[in-house]
Structure 1
């Protein structure tokens, strides 16, 4: 079987790698994905975007890429779309128009429960099967036969979870993977590392970044030990400072207390707040909110991302409460996502 895949985000490719372990060996991936999984059309670094303004600048390239994927689908048996709804939903429409009988599977659905609920109708119209990773997500879909809760992939990918508190003297810093995120967080992270004494400061840098990139966007990293293994470092750490994103959910599930921060371009932050009608941005907090439970971590944004605010949370967080809430979150999301999606693809 040939499977057309469009997985444009780094986090999507982590999930795709786990999924591939459960696929038959004769399934060949074609399209857009990490080059460690095969021979993609483009390197993922050329596809990375940060916010609305960056997306507009690359419109012409993405139109070209969409057309190339639609043509490539002609030689593929099925289609797997992952996350990136701004690109994948229009792609699904074009694929449905060209190949009305081809099976289109969407895994890691757009967060229509948070904003742009009209995407639900498009997903149901253009896709054959919808693989949900959030228990309450199916509530907003009318076609219950198309959507299936498969479990959350992070619970498959994280190999060890904390059952008791860690006092390791290790603190993890995760400034994100996009250029703007890194630049906006490193100054305050450096200040925290310099003021928090007698601790080992671990800076997580994705493997894909070379020395030139690190020097240009991370700046002085002499206060930190560098690591690429976020799961292992979070498992060992007693606390973490994390930029908004999937990493916050990883830490919440593993059981490592942390504080979340995010500094976006002003226009992106304004538009996000305008459209997203939820009291939280962190995924773990959103899931707990939907389940009727209090948040697991603090969130700081824009000008509130300061040394004083982050340090105060580091000093005052109730680690016992955090660990107990982490255990509740694991039970809520359940296991099995990768194997379940593989079965859907191969059925």
Structure 2
């Protein structure tokens, strides 16, 4: 859809929602639904996927083309992002937008935020860039270009205050708390997927982007086989994100399951690529080991720029190692199997201690209702602008 095709009725807000990955699409969809409750006739346009589209957001671009990450990978896609940025700029220039709600995805969204600032268009940034991890000096610049920040971790609000960022910041809670986790029915789940309900399941979460799958698929597969060699009772399943093509897992010897929440609920242990899934496993109380491998150039640059002690979100929230995290060349099948093995023992100290700590992490994520709070902040930001006119 081009900017010229974007129409709306007079008197209702025109809101641009920008998501660049699967989780952002889900969060954006919930925000869109909450915005429609406030303004049933508001016009929503954005970048996202099927979830946002199903809630009435007119898409400028589909999520699949944006699912790249890392310095090296983004460089390869520069022409595409340049063209997309021009389309967004045209939309902003022609006065079609009253409010921009970027959702994470800083590589692209920060450039849009700067455009909006120059055009005096209000910005409510939801799930702010991790300036506390990359370059804390960027916090003030982000604050300068935004009207309000809706953050999902409590320490983020403290961080912006500590660095003296002149912007209103609201901790809205984590959007994962809004997800309805199905009541586990292990027998039915195992019957459908051909598992023995009496035997443990290992869930493999290799990522939601193609380059992540390429980096992790064979490693995860080899790790699963190592564990089965030690304990033949272990049953293995792949978790498939909605943005991933079925062809990626074609020929797999293990079931490929798109109902990832149910898989986590029934898995005794999980092997998880670092990211949002670490919090999903935390909320399910499923012990796991987190792994991350990326292009060597991306990793080298990240080591120079990143200023955090941990990459797994539970570890960041607790400021200690709650779950093992294994990076780059250290991620070898034998090593991962050694870390995962003790977690299958229901009585092991390491499993009991991890579950106890995961429960503590849950208490630091706030309360359900993040999407409704973001919609209310959107109303506040727009009304504040009207008051200043």
Common fold: TM-score over 0.5: yes
Change (3 A) 1:210 1:333: closer
Change (3 A) 1:115 1:36: closer
Q: Measure, in 2, the Cα distance between the counterparts of 1:17 and 1:338.
A: 9
Structure 2 SS opposite 1:22: helix
Structure 2 SS opposite 1:41: strand
Q: Deviation of residue 93 (structure 1)?
A: 0.9
Question: Which of 267, 270, 277 in structure 2 is aligned with 1:240?
Answer: 270
Alignment of 1:1-347 (within 5 A): 1-23=13-35, 24=37, 25-38=40-53, 39-73=58-92, 74-98=95-119, 100=120, 102-141=121-160, 142-143=164-165, 146-157=168-179, 159=181, 169-195=200-226, 196=228, 197-215=232-250, 220-222=251-253, 224-289=254-319, 294-317=320-343, 318-335=350-367, 336-347=369-380
Structure 1 portions without partners, runs of 5+: none
Query: How many residues get paired?
Result: 333
Change (3 A) 1:112 1:160: farther
Q: Which has the larger radius of gyration?
A: 2
Contact 1:105 1:128 in 2 (8 A): yes
Q: Deviation of residue 168 (structure 1)?
A: 5.8
Q: Residues 272-309 of structure 1, C-alpha deviation per residue, up to 9 Å, x if partnerless?
A: 112112221111111110xxxx3211011112111111
Q: Measure, in 2, the Cα distance between the counterparts of 1:72 and 1:188.
A: 43
Q: TM-score, normalised by structure 2?
A: 0.80
Q: TM-score, normalised by structure 1?
A: 0.89
Q: Deviation of residue 338 (structure 1)?
A: 1.5
Structure 1 SS opposite 2:263: helix
What is the root-mean-square deviation of aligned Cα atoms in Å? 2.1
Change (3 A) 1:168 1:153: farther
Q: Measure, in 1, the Cα distance between the counterparts of 2:198 and 2:110.
A: 45
